Structure 1
């Protein structure tokens, strides 16, 4: 295939290029701002393909040894070596949307493990609108760059998907917003700076946000749902809400769900599972973990107090 020819694919179709299916994906979790796939493969051999989403790969390790990876972009080859000590440094790779790129492992290893995050260009553009220079956002092709924040966001999203799965939209949106702002500031072709807001939400907007969250506690609400209700962007909402309350919208939602659960648990005819589901928790395990974090005891212990 020549440098001017490449395949078009997307995050849902990319797994067909691997020998093994992903260990975990968000594709059925209802996420909209970001998608995630966790891979562990014996080898990589992806032809030069383009993806309509920005792709951020977070390296997690190669079993027992390092690995040499050969990247090809528009016919140009680049070989990058990963060593065992590199994986603790949180290296990432960024392939901008619609940029043809191929990758092949050229050294023998038992397994190659990584997380891929996918962001829509329109989502980055929405976040960039809050910056001082809200021009078109173009990300830089980036190879083996240490970035602890992106690495931690990827791990946090994977953990949320593993433990909560469906029912984690607000958390995923919040993490996606933080990742997008970071990418725009540090990995775009032009420098973007975000305005610092000293004040929080107005009393009216804060009350409106709280009332919306309380009215939809049992639902898998998203950050964009709340932002649309308030007539502001997700980025603006995240920052001003935390400035006003000291916690993120997702943390506030969890606290409010736990408070409602405390009232329902006082009704002896209610099962713990029914309370968990009515309050919007994904399952009983998720409910118990959040309840303990907020109260110091699990739901059954709370009933005995």
Structure 2
């Protein structure tokens, strides 16, 4: 029986699928993407075709399958898992940006890996999938870069050779964000605006602002939405599109988180004329 899959492809760089599989054979044909499979079910007995050994998979066990490599397993019981697909170009780009070019042995097939950071990043993408991907491409790309760093065996410490954003570079990025809140924003676009690599922007933007790029963009969108709602000229659904939220429900979620109220109740607080 084929597994049931709910997936969210944010871009060609990174995607995630939540999988429910029944007992039986589960081949994994070779594809043009690195696969990170995170097991979510307790005590699932399986037989690994690659190693030829039985295994008892538990929550958090991770299998890494490089691009162009086939795999597969036989499951004795039903299971739940996440599969993250990461484009090889992401791994190569991040490796080059941080001065550690990827080699053929940089990312090898691994089974039953335990890595808390990868597990948490996978869960973050899963939460976004469950919420119909409200955070969008920028968030997925940021997580993709973090996953690439983990796969390269590096820590998240800022590289010694990195250069901090200058005041002009930071100003250009912040101005670009404010001018394009209604459009999809990506790390690649913002790093081009700053004139630095995406991994350096990700690190030094937080040093400069105290926020991740994704969190800063969300905050600016919510602040812009608040102003528009108080002006009262646009309906909440129109405000959501104006500030770059894909759906009104996503706007409502973040308005409630930041201000403790709904868009409609915030709109009703505008001063009467």
Structure 2: gaps spanning 5 or more residues: none
Please state whether the residue corresponding to 1:77 is helix, strand or coil.
Answer: coil
1:100 is aligned, of 61, 64, 70, to 70
Match of 1:57 in 2: 37
How many angstroms does 1:304 deviate by?
Answer: 3.5
Counterparts in 2 of 1:209 and 1:44: CA distance versus 1, 3 Å: farther
Please give the alpha-carbon distance, in whole angstroms, between the structure 1 residues aligned to 2:24 and 2:209: 46
How many angstroms does 1:222 deviate by?
Answer: 1.4
Counterparts in 2 of 1:274 and 1:48: CA distance versus 1, 3 Å: closer
Please state whether the residue corresponding to 1:103 is helix, strand or coil.
Answer: strand
Structure-1-length-normalised TM-score: 0.80
Match of 1:174 in 2: 142
Please give the alpha-carbon distance, in whole angstroms, between the structure 1 residues aligned to 2:107 and 2:190: 28
Structure 1: gaps spanning 5 or more residues: 1-17
Match of 1:40 in 2: 20
Matches within 5 A, 1:1-305: 19-22=2-5, 24-27=6-9, 30-47=10-27, 49-61=29-41, 66-73=43-50, 76-82=51-57, 86-87=58-59, 90-105=60-75, 107=76, 109=77, 111-136=78-103, 138-165=106-133, 168-185=136-153, 195-196=159-160, 200-305=164-269
Counterpart contact for 2:19–2:80, Cα < 8 Å: yes
Counterparts in 2 of 1:299 and 1:200: CA distance versus 1, 3 Å: farther
Please give the alpha-carbon distance, in whole angstroms, between the structure 1 residues aligned to 2:102 and 2:20: 37
Number of residue pairs aligned between Structure 1 and Structure 2: 268
Please give the alpha-carbon distance, in whole angstroms, between the structure 1 residues aligned to 2:115 and 2:24: 23
Counterpart contact for 2:39–2:80, Cα < 8 Å: yes
Structure-2-length-normalised TM-score: 0.89
